[in-house]
Each structure stands twice: as C-alpha cells, then as structure tokens.
Amino acid sequence: MSVFDVVFGKPLATSAEHDEHIGVAAGIPIFGLDGLTSAAYGPEAAMQLLVPLGIAGVSAYLLPVFSCILVLLAIVYLSYRQTIEAYPNGGGSYTVASENLGDGAGLLAAAALMIDYILTAAVGISAGVTALVSASDGTRISHTMHHYQLAFCLLILIIIATVNMRGMKESGFAFMLPTFIFVGTLVTTIAWAAYQYWATGGHPVAVAPPPPPEVGVSTFTKVGLVWLLMKTFASGCAAMTGVEAVSNGVTAFREPRAKKANQTLTIIIGMLIVMLYGLSWVAKIYHVTAMNPDAHNYQNVLSIEVAAVFGRGWFYFLTMGGVLAALSFSANTAFADFPRMARAIALRDYLPHVFILRGRRLLFSHGIYALTGFTALILIIFNGVTDRLIPLYAIGAFLAFTLSQAGMVVHWLHTKDAKHRFVKLFFNGLGAVATGITLIVVLVAKFTSGAWVTALLVPFLIIIMTTIKRHYRRVKLETADPTPLRLSGLEDPIVIIPMARWDKISEKAMRFGLLMSETVKVVHIHGDEQDALGCVWDKMVADPVREANRTLPELITVSSNYRTILSPLMDYILKLEDENPGRKIAVLLPELVVRHWWENLLHNQRVQILKLLLLLKGNQRIVVVNIPWYL
C-alpha cells in the first residue's frame, strides 16, 4: 500500500458506491456542523448591536429578536422538509430554482451559493483559528501564535480537504466527536442555568460575574430603535446559514434517502433552536452584554456565559475547546455540499465538466480541489483574518433560501396530484416571503459593510457561467454528427517529413511516410552550414526507391537567411496546404526520446515547438504524426 493510499484511502470501485452512503449519525456532523456552530457566533453578532442599549436592552429585546429568528428558522425548516421529499435526488437551491424558475434563477442561486460555500469554509476555519490564537493572548507563545495564524488556517484546510478526499463516510466519523462535545457542553450549560434559575427562584448568581457594560446607555428615537433592531435581526440571521446543507446532499444518504435526510435535518434544527434560544435566555438571566472586540480583555459572549454558569473550571475549558474544534471544522459542510452543487451545475453545462467526474474515492474530487483552492486563496489574501467577510455570506445564504422556496411554490403549483398540496404550497410560500423579506433587510442593513461585494460578485459569476455554457453549446453544435461514417473521397494525404540529416530516425520516418502515401515530400532547411542531406540523398534514398519501382519522394531544400528552422518550415507547410485544397497534409515529426529528463537539455526542443505551432496555426487538414525514436 502506497503512502498515497494511506493518506487518501484506497481507490473504490464504482460498485462500492452503496457502502459509501451515510446514515443520520454521520449526517449530523457532515451537514450540520455549519448550521450548529452558528449558535456560537449568532447571539454574539446580534448582541454586539444591542450594546448601546445596555443590560436593559438585552433584557427587553434579545429574546424577542431571537424569537423572530427562530420562527423564521422553523418556517425554513418546514419548507426544506418538503423540498427534500420532493427532490430525493438532491434538492439544492440550484436544482430547485433552475427546474422551477428557469435557468436565470438557477444561475442566481448557483452564484449565491458558490460565494456562500467558499466564504463559509474560509470564515469557519479562520474563526476557529482566531479563537485559538486569542486563547494564547498574554502567554509567552502569543506572538508566535499570531505570526502563524495563516499557517494554522491552511493546516486545518489541508486536514479537512484530506479527510474529505477519503470519502463522505470517513469525514462523518472524523468530525462526530467535536460535534458531540460542542452540542453536549452547550446544552449542559443551558440546562444547568435553567436548574439554577429554578433553584434560586429566578435570580441565579454568576459563578464568574460578567463584566459590566462598557458604554453608557444611549437614547434612541423610535425610528432609530427600529433600525437598530432590524440590524440586530439581520446580524442574528447569520445563525441561519447552513440550513440548506442537508437538502443539497440528499443523495449522500442511505435509502430511504429522503427519510434519513429529513431525520438529520430535524435533529440539526432541533439542536440549533435549543442552543440559540437557550443561549439568548442565559444571556438575559445572567445579565450578559457583549464586549467591545477591541478591548484588551475581550471575551466573547459564549465565554462569559459559560464562565457565569460554571466558573472557569475544567468544564469551561472543555466547552471552549469544543467550540474551537467545531468552528474550525464547520468548513466541512461546505466540502460536503460544494462538490455536489458544482456537479449539478456542470451537468447543465454551466461549469467545466470535470466537476462531473468522480475520483478514486467516488467523490467529485475536482469540486474539493476547487473549493480548497478558492478557500486557500481567500485565507491567503486576508492573511487568515476573515471577520470582515461575515456580512458577505448571509446574503448568499438568504438569496439561495428565497429562490429555493419560490421554486418550490412553482413546483407545487405544477404538481397537481401531490398530497396536501395547498398546505405545502402555503409553507413554501411563507418561507419564500419570510426569507425574501429577510434578504432585503440583511442587504439594506449590511450593504455598506460588505454586502455590496456579493452584489457585484454574483453577476460576475453568472457571466462566467453563461460564457461556459455558450462554449459547450458551440462545441456540441459544431461536433455533433448525426450522420453515419462517410467513406467517399478517402485520398492519401501529402506526407511532409522535415529532415536535417540521414540517420536511423530519418529512415524510420521515411518508411512510415512511404506506408502512408505515394506523395512524400522531405523538407530540408538549409542554413549557412554544408548541405549534408543533399549529398547523400541519391545514394541513401532515391536509388533504393527507384530500384523498388516506387514513386520517388521529393527533396525540397529551403535556404534560411536568418538561421531559423521553424519559420521557413511552417511557411512551406502552410503554402503547400494552401496550394492543395481538399487534400490532407500529414506532417511526420521524427522525435528523439531520451532516457533521463536532463538529457532533453542536450537536444533542441524544436520538435515540441513545431508540434505546438502546427496545433496553433494549423487547420482541419493538417495532421501531425509523431515518430518517436527511443535511445
């Protein structure tokens, strides 16, 4: 077994596909990590905006805002359940939108989701690493850790990519433990806080008291307050990204696919709702406010909450460790979905066809390569610090949600025989309207802080995809051949053999040329040196051919004033082609094949350049025959 096999797993036969399908237990870490980890940063994102309102603001508005978000989440959940049932062969937003709303809407969804997935991967990894690096602040290794931030990010990217190259199933197992610790510790925290609340009659005492609010309470006009709450809502919606992941990956599940996928989705959403609502509630009862991220003793809300409930003991560190791991590996969801989506898009000719191919482990490997490449690019450009990209990707997610739900509405309108058709229509319609409104809110609230980048990128990606489609359509049109093989007009080609001297390589080419055609033209480019070929031509070539009563090959000697070989040769070939319309030209290129790579340095690479020139400047009638000579 090679090292390659050890790292990436042995190749899997196509017939082994069945064994690679996953169940609910593997589905949760694979498709859920992205959504679940939203609980770690969603409340924080919303609470940052409530800071000017002080503790009273958190008490008064945090739970209502998150209730809105959870209602929206529930609607989206119900909508996606229906999508999964209706599209058991994979109902990603792209598929649903393009099948029901047309190619345009499909491309819009595709562009939005491509941006979303790439950013999810980059931001997830970067968030985990940032948390890890921050944890070292104040210690002796802090400087080193900051220095290697990007290196850590790329290392985690490579780990995730490698695990994913091994296959769906393996990545499910690999990321199960971090997911379990993440969810387990947070739910335990919430449960213990609830018990304390009950035990103390509604006034629990923080073990490690939260820091006091840093800024004074500002007053707001009514409009100002509404705008603030809208922005809070928009920020909190970051917690909803990743919900569409399961619907896109239905085909990864064992049969009954749709059922397994829906069970997975239900568990993920259930856990997410518990965590989001629970953590908001803990913030309220422990009077937690968000801290200014630039403060020197900054802690995030999650850290303050866990410390308040349990103090800074081993459980605190276990929880924080779980958060770190889960965040870093949340990129895995993008790795599960992006290749599937890219394949769906490529099947409709809007992306390169390599995305359709399945690699040695039955995965769409090129999707993994592409995602890894783009993610690495973004991490490198932003040097591993991607906080500023967060506003960008909620847009992508909500655009995809809206198009998917709207597509489902059209689907139910056309599917006249579905059971409970109008109930389904209602839920998908509600989902479409709700996510559509949210999209507008997020776009408006976040436009200046980065959402405009997405607004520019989406049309750019759509242009690329339509250009690709146009290319494939043209190739198909030009090469499609609905007629049987024509056998008329099969005329021998004119054979051209460039020859510098008479040797075994030349002889081999001559023999092959005489086999191919009666018309053989040997071209000798003649610089300022002696005409070595002309001297021996009669003896070596002409005489034996005459004796055998065959048509004599023609020797054409071209003198080269500027000592170049290739351009007079190309000129001659193109001229001959021009003078013989309708005839094929076969250029025979004798080529020396050396044993070691370095030996190529000792021979001019004219044959290689000539091949390239013939390919670039040639046309349908010019064919190149390589006659290799092995030393």
| Residues 557-596 contacting its own copies, CB under 8 A | 561-564, 584, 586, 591-593
Whose tokens are 């000697």? That residue is: 557
Choose, by CB under 8 A, the member of 14, 219, 221, 448 that binds its own copies. Answer: 14
| Residues 526-555 contacting its own copies, CB under 8 A | 527-528, 539-541, 543-545, 548, 550
Output 107 or 301, the one with its CB closest to its own copies: 107
For 242: left if phi > 0, alpha if psi spans -120 to 50, otherwise beta; the answer is: left
For residue 489, what are the CA distances in angstroms to 329, 367, 481, 583, 584?
Answer: 63, 45, 18, 10, 11
15 binds its own copies (CB under 8 A): yes
| Closest CB 605 distance from its own copies, rounded Å | 10
Sole window of 11-19, 69-77, 133-141, 315-323 interacting with its own copies (rule: CB under 8 A): 11-19
| Closest CB 351 distance from its own copies, rounded Å | 9
626 binds its own copies (CB under 8 A): yes
Question: How many residues line the site for its own copies (CB under 8 A)?
Answer: 83
225 binds its own copies (CB under 8 A): no
| Closest CB 611 distance from its own copies, rounded Å | 8
For 413, residues 6+ apart whose C-beta sits below 8 A from its C-beta are 425
| Closest CB 147 distance from its own copies, rounded Å | 23
For 552: left if phi > 0, alpha if psi spans -120 to 50, otherwise beta; the answer is: beta
473 binds its own copies (CB under 8 A): no
**Selection from 116, 76, 539, 90 nearest residue 331 by Cα:** 116
Would you say 625 and 588 are in contact if contact means Cβ atoms under 8 Å apart?
yes
Residue by residue, what is the 3-state secondary structure of 147-171?
HCHHHHHHHHHHHHHHHHHCCHHHH
- 583 burial (CB, 10 Å; 0-12 / 13-18 / 19+) is middle
For 477, residues 6+ apart whose C-beta sits below 8 A from its C-beta are none
| Residues 327-366 contacting its own copies, CB under 8 A | 352-354, 357-360
Output 89 or 604, the one with its CB closest to its own copies: 604
Whose tokens are 């044959």? That residue is: 607
| Closest CB 507 distance from its own copies, rounded Å | 5
622 binds its own copies (CB under 8 A): yes
Structure tokens at 617: 């400047």
470 binds its own copies (CB under 8 A): no
Output 219 or 479, the one with its CB closest to its own copies: 479
Strands 585-593 and 554-559: unpaired
Choose, by CB under 8 A, the member of 202, 487, 530, 578 that binds its own copies. Answer: 487
Q: Rounded to whole angstroms, how far apart are CA atoms 129 and 386?
A: 11
18 binds its own copies (CB under 8 A): no
| Closest CB 249 distance from its own copies, rounded Å | 20
| Residues 497-526 contacting its own copies, CB under 8 A | 502-508, 510-512, 514-516
Q: Rounded to whole angstroms, how far apart are CA atoms 323 and 574?
A: 67
Output 448 or 619, the one with its CB closest to its own copies: 619
| Closest CB 591 distance from its own copies, rounded Å | 8
